[in-house]
Amino acid sequence: MGTDPIFPLWSYGKWGLSPFLLGAATVLAFAPAGVFPLALVTFAVLVQLWMDAAPRRAFFSGYWFGLGLFGAGVSWIYVSMNRFGGMPMPLAALATLLFCAFLALFPAVAGWLQARIPASRALRASLLIPAAWVLFEWLRGWLFTGFPWLAVGYAAVGWPLQGYAPLVGVYGLSFATLSIAGMAWLVFRRVSRLAFLVGFFVVLAGGQALRHVEWSQPAGEPVAAALLQGNIEQDLKFDPRRYPRILETYARLAEESRARLIVLPETAIPRFYDGIEPEYLARLEALAKRNAGDLLLGVPYRGAPGEYYNSVLTLGTSARQAYHKNHLVPFGEFVPPGFRWALDVVRIPLTDFSRGAPEQPPLAVAGQRIAVNICYEDAFGDEIARRLPQATLLVNVSNVAWFGDSLAPAQHLQIARLRAIETGRMHLAATNTGITAAIDRDGRVLARLPQFAEGRLEIAAQGYTGATPYSLYRDWPVVVSSLLLLAVFAFVASRAMSR
């Protein structure tokens, strides 16, 4: 447990400054910068901080690392609360800080747990730390409805490790990232240097080889699709004086397209479906039928009294169908019990949606079976995978205008890319202000629109069939394996101490 003469600053930075800066630097490994090798460096240094550290020291260094990671990586939450939610600046800053402080507890407890379990340096670096991190990363994506943003595995999109995604999903990529970071540290510290150097490159080479495996097969001919980006300013979207212009913008963009599938963003029409002028809906349906296809309309939908949904409804040649959002955003789309007072300090329209059913069939439109998800829902890979293998195409409709010109849209696109890879499906993203994009099943962005510009993205969308291993088993193999690793390490250590 003594000081390490090689890394005195990194090990004992005053007030946790060193791990805080490490965590903040890790954000550059994610989109939009996308410097994945940086994550290997920062996590290798985190291994150094946790190696031989007492549980209390590991907890606090993990906490400051997490505070830096989330403080820099999800600072866009402040924008939504202050600029668009109308929350006073000091209160919005405090709320953002408290949220990041809560998220930082997960890497902190991961550090504490791994430090409580005796293990050799080699096993700690390459297996024990990755298992503890992944377990609490998964818990962060599940507790209190979950916030899986900035899971480490997303940084691997576009790099060799992404080849493992159809097998083990984002948390498997997180495990692999931390494991090879640990191997890199072991090589640097001259612990079985050759063995771990070989292991490092074998893991990378295996991922690169898997990128060439086709886990799904084309289903029929590509369908012409058009993704509409209205670029409606968030602070004007719910202004009644702007409503006619919004209607005309989307009608014009749609009418100029001959695509068989036309997709509008989340709540593209800022009025309940039953309050939209019937002649306008007839206009949209007529143009969809003119193209011998269908239109997906993002709109709030009113059900029974006191019940309304964030929905996507279909218009066109196919039978009328609807998808109602199931995984809602706390405070943004529903108010958790005991927090009704929050509505007095933040002004967000439509803040208490009802949940759609957890199991909703894909929409059968334009010759495809489309698994629709709305905004934040595509951050939950396990839930997207439940819609397969029935779905042939993924479509996400979003309105990330809530976060302005921040890191959020690029991070969201990176998440969508990994969903395409995990499922072996093409993924279409239609957003209000960007980033509207078409993503192939291998995660490549085939085409995209610039942010904060009105436009229409025309793309040939290919449907696919078949099931990746991840779509069959989802996150459970990685979660259970991490638990088993921790249990085995703890059991072996307890047996050794009892002798």
29 token code pair? 């490994």
Round to whole Å and give the CA distance between 351 and 397. Answer: 18
Tokens 């670096």: give the residue.
125
Instruction: Name every residue whose Cβ is closer than 8 Å to that of residue 202 and which is 6 or more positions away in sequence.
Output: none
Residue among 100, 137, 285, 325 flagged as catalytic: 325
Residue-wise burial string across 165-174, b where 16 or more C-beta atoms lie within 10 A, e elsewhere: bbbbbbbbbb
Residue among 137, 237, 266, 377 flagged as catalytic: 266
103 token code pair? 């998220």
Judge whether 100 counts as a catalytic residue: no
Helix orientation angle between 55-73 and 17-26, rounded to the nearest 10 degrees: 40
Q: Which of 243, 229, 294, 286 is nearest to 458 (CA)?
A: 229
Residue among 137, 237, 285, 375 flagged as catalytic: 375
Judge whether 266 counts as a catalytic residue: yes
Helices (H), 336-475: 381-385, 408-423, 469-473
Judge whether 237 counts as a catalytic residue: no
Instruction: Name every residue whose Cβ is closer than 8 Å to that of residue 300 and which is 6 or more positions away in sequence.
Output: 267, 270, 271, 272, 273, 308, 309, 310, 311, 350, 353
Count of helix runs (H) and strand runs (E) in the chain: 17, 14
Tokens 């407890």: give the residue.
109
Round to whole Å and give the CA distance between 418 and 168. Answer: 12
Active site residues: 266, 325, 375
